Amino acid sequence: MDNKLLLDGIVVAENVKEQLKKQVSGLKKLGVRPCLATILVGDDPSSETYVRMKGNACDKMEIVSKRIHLSKDITTDDLLQTIAELNEDPAVHGILLQHPVPGHIDERKAFEAIAIEKDVDGVTSLGYGQTALGFGEYPSCTPAAILEIIDFYKLETKGMHAVVVGRSPILGKPVSALLLNRNATVTTCHSHTRNLPQILKQADIVVAAVGKPNFIKGEWIKEGSIVLDAGYNKGNIGDVDYESCLHKAFAITPVPGGVGPVTISMLLKHTVQAAVKSSEIKGEATS
């Protein structure tokens, strides 16, 4: 590990939470408690675990966790009605619909139903568009986590060649846009990309978001590059072959303990920011 920079997500997440505690305390004095509503449809064990983890993280930060568990047989219209009620609830500041939902539900329609001011998970097309244009308030949480790590460790993006491996609407695409807005030159790769190893050899920054364990090999990356592994696969394995990439990279995130903890802290951060904004608007309305 000599001269290697371990990008420790646990340290970054704790730093974010310390800042949030001050904001939560300030809101408490105003009689406001940030509230995140999580919607779980069905009984998928992994989804149940993720929702529980997010709820526990809220509890530790004195953020209200409103948990809504719906039957796997619920219709799209009934789910939309639930979201509409949460949109109208002034005590709810953020709404998270746990992915995936059962196949008979129109997931995109459900995501789009979330009010933009409560889209703290960055799943709406409006939120994505605002992020791409550079004025989105709540980007998708994993891309936001990657930027938070970059900022915490004061890593340069301007003029750097960033290669993003993955193009999902809540990870690859938004992180490409965020890096482009930071003046990086961005190449977005995917399953149809030819000569991926040769492209990665040119990368100053590698973002792994492909969903394949140990996919990116050390011999594919450039000496001295920055490697941010946003993958999380069965067995706590990332998308990067950590040991081989460690020898080539200047800086690298581990899995677990890298991007993951910061992703959850970004969800908390966005919820608190939404509560602050809501209290400011309320204050203006009553002043």
Domain annotation covers residue 106:
yes
- Whether 9 and 258 have beta carbons less than 8 Å apart is answered as yes
Bond into 169 cis (ω within 30): no
What is residue 283's predicted lDDT score, i.e. its pLDDT?
57
**Structural domain of 204:** 141-260
Number of domains present in the structure of the chain: 2
Q: Is 190 exposed, middle or buried (0-12, 13-18, 19+ CB in 10 A)?
A: middle
Give yes or no for residue 280 having a pLDDT over 90. Answer: no
Domain annotation covers residue 10:
no
Please identify which residue in the block is written with the tokens 């149809």.
Answer: 192
Q: What is the DSSP string of 204-223?
A: SEEEE-S--TT-B-GGGSPT
Residues 124, 144: Cα–Cα separation, whole Å = 15
Say if residue 108 is in the same domain as residue 150: no
Domain annotation covers residue 266:
no
Domain annotation covers residue 58:
yes
- pLDDT per residue as tens digits for the range 26-46: 999 999 999 999 999 999 998
Say if residue 145 is in the same domain as residue 211: yes
For residue 71, CA distances in Å to 43, 45, 78, 134, 206 come to 8, 14, 10, 38, 40
Quote the pTM value.
0.94
Domain annotation covers residue 188:
yes
Tokens encoding 69: 């568990």
What is residue 279's predicted lDDT score, i.e. its pLDDT?
87
Tokens encoding 129: 């568009």
- pLDDT per residue as tens digits for the range 120-145: 999 999 999 999 999 999 999 999 99
The residue among 82, 117, 152 that closes a domain is 117
Secondary structure letter of residue 90 according to DSSP: T
Give yes or no for residue 111 having a pLDDT over 70. Answer: yes
Reply yes or no on whether 17 is catalytic: no
CA atoms within 13 A on the CB side of 148: 31
Domain annotation covers residue 254:
yes
Say if residue 145 is in the same domain as residue 256: yes
Q: At what angle do helices 141-152 and 172-181 cross, to 10 degrees?
A: 40
Say if residue 97 is in the same domain as residue 146: no
The 10 Å Cβ neighbour count of residue 168 is 16
Reply yes or no on whether 121 is catalytic: yes
Give yes or no for residue 147 having a pLDDT over 80. Answer: yes
Task: Give the model's confidence band at 281: pLDDT under 50 very low, under 70 low, under 90 confident, else very high.
Answer: confident
Give the SS3 label for residue 102: coil
Q: Over range 179-198, report the average pLDDT.
A: 97
Say if residue 198 is in the same domain as residue 108: no
Strand bridging mode 185-189 / 226-229 = unpaired
Say if residue 102 is in the same domain as residue 185: no
- Whether 95 and 101 have beta carbons less than 8 Å apart is answered as no
Residues 88, 115: Cα–Cα separation, whole Å = 9
Say if residue 145 is in the same domain as residue 255: yes
Tokens encoding 252: 């690298």
The residue among 54, 84, 117 that closes a domain is 117
Task: Give the model's confidence band at 94: pLDDT under 50 very low, under 70 low, under 90 confident, else very high.
Answer: very high
Say if residue 83 is in the same domain as residue 146: no
Give yes or no for residue 286 having a pLDDT over 50. Answer: no
Domain annotation covers residue 127:
no
Catalytic-labelled residue, pool 8, 118, 119, 121 = 121
Domain annotation covers residue 16:
no
Say if residue 162 is in the same domain as residue 85: no
What is residue 284's predicted lDDT score, i.e. its pLDDT?
54
What is residue 217's predicted lDDT score, i.e. its pLDDT?
97
Say if residue 81 is in the same domain as residue 168: no
Which CATH number do you get for residue 76? 3.40.50.10860
- pLDDT per residue as tens digits for the range 201-259: 999 999 999 999 999 999 999 999 999 999 989 899 999 999 999 999 999 999 999 99
Reply yes or no on whether 54 is catalytic: yes
Which CATH number do you get for residue 165? 3.40.50.720
Say if residue 111 is in the same domain as residue 159: no
Say if residue 154 is in the same domain as residue 205: yes
pLDDT above 90 as % of the chain: 93
